[in-house]
A and B are shown apart, each in its own frame.
Chain A
């Protein structure tokens, strides 16, 4: 993704998909709650959220299998109300794969092309290309029940890519793949996206995946959109405790915001020095607030450091994760902070050990003060 690709910041960019104030109810249950999203051409848009938050439902509304109870969806400027799934410029890869069990892999992939009335030899060429892409060429004659779960997932991916649609909806496309194949396929997807200019909307449970592939990430909870932003902003500037906690590891400290301006001051715990961080999520002075700080932004030292934010505590637990070590430090108030330190030298230089008294510190811009 090139650095300047940011159509969402350009006022006159025209979105490919406009979701306007859409609500979906199943009986009395609200699966999607007043959602607004603009997705731009050539975006790789990731939907992230816990199970049951409505990701699949949103995709199904884009594909045309569910009708919004309220609101409007337009694709390429056309109102999609009443437009049947087969008339939409959209292909979807289903969470359950939905491969046709009575057809060979070859015929599964050719299915959509045949409906288009493409010439026979063009179909053959396209299918071969797709099979090669997902590395299943030698299984072309097999039926779906004769291949593994991960292979099925790749066939489903190939089938949805075959028609080269303007918009491709992928519902957890890589969940069943092992890590190596998943990374390969992620890069393959990004490559396809770059070559074909297809717009992707992808659902994933895997935040690392969302971070790797997406131009923007939407974090959902209970049918609501909590934050839509670039992966970096989602990570560095979450707008709520929910997002901070959902994406990556974070230390959360309960307290109160005292002054909010360029920076925000935060008080907590009896006798503890105040902390300073970036204000976020519309935090207000003299309200309950939460201080959020990522473990890798905390430095650990034996002597009292100069930094503005510093706390004193005792090491309770040490985790060795190969490339880094984590220290769990208990503060006098009983709160626990986790800090992560990269292991640069191979020789285990045990600077700190259990029960050691240490200082934790971080800069004024490293943490966020968010409304509780």
Chain B
């Protein structure tokens, strides 16, 4: 490692400033006692209190988490199955067509995906609510899961599965006992990605949400259109906090796993 040169220092500062100053402004103003977002009038936590008394926001947050959990779980199951079939059971007619089709939603404009889902739900007479958002989110995040999992599967030595078959497993047992444990990190990454995408989504959710269920992004977006309120700043600060905690936990967990493996290795040697 070489020492930091003035050039390094400048580029680092600029880069981080670019990334974090907007968030910093948001966090600072969430503690503003004034109702006017742009005028500093002293420190206060009253907007947090307001936020927690705002039933509509809490309801929307709960819907978002529910939708995220169910849609990402469903997307992970379907996406993993699709990836496994497309990468492994490689020889069936129309395989190229299918693998092209599964990735199409990646490049499809969200508006179109949302609109087509809306039309479908109307056509089959499904009332818009949590269920329709879950289905919609599953549809578009499944292909992301499938991309992540299949990139792991192509580097996976197929003779491992053959060895499992050879030792008496049925194809399903071989998948469960050998393939799944080995690709599990990729499956988990796919789940997290799907969950994040679902939390993030505004466009598709606004097509498929109904009066009975609204997600947080829709709620925030619609209230911002009536003017930015300090409550939104408070909400955003909480989200930033949660994300930070999530990232820190994830890195701590993986660090722990690495040191545990090192310990296992030492234990195995004695």
Taking a contact as CB atoms under 8 Å apart, the answer to whether B181 and A139 are in contact is no
Interface centre among B168, B173, B178 (most CB of A within 10 A): B168
Within 8 A of B (CB), among A141-176: 141-143, 146, 159-160, 163
- Take A139-B268, A141-B267, A146-B268 as given contacts and tell me if A86 and B159 are in contact as well, using a CB distance cutoff of 8 Å: no
Which of B157, B167, B264 makes the CB contact (< 8 A) with A91? Answer: B167
Interface centre among B163, B164, B170, B181 (most CB of A within 10 A): B163
- Number of residues in A with C-beta < 8 Å to the partner? 28
Taking a contact as CB atoms under 8 Å apart, the answer to whether B163 and A94 are in contact is yes
What are the residues of chain A within 8 A of B265 when measuring CB–CB? 142, 146
- Take A86-B170, A101-B182, A102-B181 as given contacts and tell me if A65 and B268 are in contact as well, using a CB distance cutoff of 8 Å: no
Is A242 engaged at the interface, CB distance under 8 Å to the other chain?
no
Is A92 engaged at the interface, CB distance under 8 Å to the other chain?
yes
Is B131 engaged at the interface, CB distance under 8 Å to the other chain?
no
A112 and B182 CA atoms in complex are apart in Å by 18
What are the residues of chain B within 8 A of A99 when measuring CB–CB? 163
What are the residues of chain A within 8 A of B50 when measuring CB–CB? none
Within 8 A of A (CB), among B78-123: none
- Take A86-B170, A115-B173, A142-B268 as given contacts and tell me if A102 and B182 are in contact as well, using a CB distance cutoff of 8 Å: yes
B81 to chain A, nearest CB (A): 21
Is B154 engaged at the interface, CB distance under 8 Å to the other chain?
no
- Take A86-B170, A115-B173, A141-B268 as given contacts and tell me if A100 and B165 are in contact as well, using a CB distance cutoff of 8 Å: no
A98 and B165 CA atoms in complex are apart in Å by 12
What are the residues of chain B within 8 A of A111 when measuring CB–CB? 164, 167, 177
A64 and B268 CA atoms in complex are apart in Å by 36
Taking a contact as CB atoms under 8 Å apart, the answer to whether B167 and A112 are in contact is yes
Is B166 engaged at the interface, CB distance under 8 Å to the other chain?
yes
Is A351 engaged at the interface, CB distance under 8 Å to the other chain?
no
Taking a contact as CB atoms under 8 Å apart, the answer to whether A115 and B167 are in contact is yes
Is B228 engaged at the interface, CB distance under 8 Å to the other chain?
no
Which of B160, B170, B173, B264 makes the CB contact (< 8 A) with A100? Answer: B160
Is A201 engaged at the interface, CB distance under 8 Å to the other chain?
no
Is B169 engaged at the interface, CB distance under 8 Å to the other chain?
yes
- Take A139-B268, A141-B267, A142-B268 as given contacts and tell me if A98 and B163 are in contact as well, using a CB distance cutoff of 8 Å: yes
For A90, give the chain B residue with the smallest CB separation: B166
Within 8 A of A (CB), among B179-201: 181-182
Is A269 engaged at the interface, CB distance under 8 Å to the other chain?
no
What are the residues of chain A within 8 A of B269 when measuring CB–CB? 142
Is A85 engaged at the interface, CB distance under 8 Å to the other chain?
yes
Taking a contact as CB atoms under 8 Å apart, the answer to whether A94 and B182 are in contact is no
- 3 closest A-B pairs by beta carbon, nearest first, are A112-B167, A115-B168, A98-B163
Not counting A85-B165, A98-B157, a sample of 13 additional A-B residue pairs whose C-beta atoms are within 8 angstroms of each other reads A65-B165, A84-B170, A96-B157, A98-B162, A100-B164, A100-B182, A101-B182, A102-B182, A112-B167, A115-B168, A115-B169, A115-B173, A142-B268
Q: Interface residues, chain A, CB within 8 Å of chain B?
A: 63-65, 84-86, 90-92, 94, 96, 98-102, 111-112, 115-116, 139, 141-143, 146, 159-160, 163
